[in-house]
Structure 1
Amino acid sequence: METALPITAQVIADVIGTEKALTLARATQCRSVYIPQRLNPSHWLVEVVGTDAAQKLIAEFPSCCLPLAKCSSVVKAKRNKRIAELSAEGLTVAEIARRLGINKNTVQTICYRMRFKNQ
């Protein structure tokens, strides 16, 4: 079962997609984000979500301040699903941690909980 995004993040995801919305939430630390009226190629928004997604946000929300809800439950659910997939492929805890850029202890704990939950 997919974890639902908070409504404020879902509004943004409907415009630029879930992954980009989560990237934006992480980059802004789940604070409000101001969407400019015009796009400057060097604007931080372009660096975070790319030109295409930034243009879509500007077209939909010009000169708006958008609140971003905390999306940690969605991010964790996606991370855990990816860990399960990589584990099923036979990767070691160290390989999974390295590939996802997270701590080995985090991977180990998640794998343990998944095994315990499936018993």
Structure 2
Amino acid sequence: MLALNEQTPEHDDLPESLQEIADAIGREGAMHLVENCGGTRVFVPRKMRVQHKLVTLLGFEQARKLSQYFGGETLTVVRNAQLLRRERNREIIRRYDAGTGVRQLALDNNLTERQIYAILSSMP
């Protein structure tokens, strides 16, 4: 098991507070927390109950893991709009490469076609 403050390569673009959450529940779970709770504080109980909002949000197993690491603490979940935008853009590029059209990508992401073309032109 990783020490909580030990960076992993897949987490090194995350802010430190989010890296710790990602170490506990994985990057996908941490990003799900940001998307749904970013900019707020979330209390993590020592004993996770099925009715807790974190269980509804993350599923029982991830919520339990979060409780193991942070039980009794209040986490400040960063908003991190830049990271969310980067993740969104990666997903747009991935979907475009898989054959989704620019129009559909624009509709799905509440963006203009021009914005989608700008994202696609930023591909390395």
| Cα offset, 1:104, TM superposition | 4.2
Higher relative contact order (CA 8 A, sep 6+): 1
Measured after TM superposition, the shift of residue 88 of structure 1 is 2.2
What TM-score do the two structures reach when normalised by structure 1?
0.81
Aligned 1:92-107 pairs, distance under 5 A = 92-97=101-106, 101-105=108-112
Question: Is 1:88 aligned with 2:113?
Answer: no
Q: Distance in 1 between matches of 2:35 and 2:100?
A: 27
Q: How many residues align?
A: 113
Offset of 1:52 from its aligned partner? 0.5
Q: What is the alpha-carbon root mean square deviation over aligned residues?
A: 2.1
Structure 2: runs of 5+ lacking an equivalent: 1-9
Alpha-carbon distance, 1:27 to partner:
1.7
Instruction: Answer with 9-18 or 72-81: which moved more.
Output: 72-81
CA contact (8 A) 2:18 2:77 kept: yes
Cα distance in 2 for residues equivalent to 1:69 and 1:52: 22
Name the amino acid aligned to 1:83.
Answer: I
Using the TM superposition, give the Cα deviation of residue 70 of structure 1 relative to its aligned residue in structure 2, in angstroms. 2.2
Point out where structure 1 has 5 or more consecutive residues left out of the alignment. none
CA distance, structure 1, for counterparts of residue 26 and residue 106 of structure 2: 26
Shift of 1:11: 0.6
Is the Cα contact below 8 Å between 1:34 and 1:64 reproduced in 2? Answer: yes
SS at match of 2:43: strand
**TM-score normalised by length of structure 2:** 0.78
Tell me if the contact between 1:20 and 1:49 (Cα under 8 Å) persists in the aligned partners.
yes
Residue 53 (structure 2) pairs with residue 47 (structure 1) = no
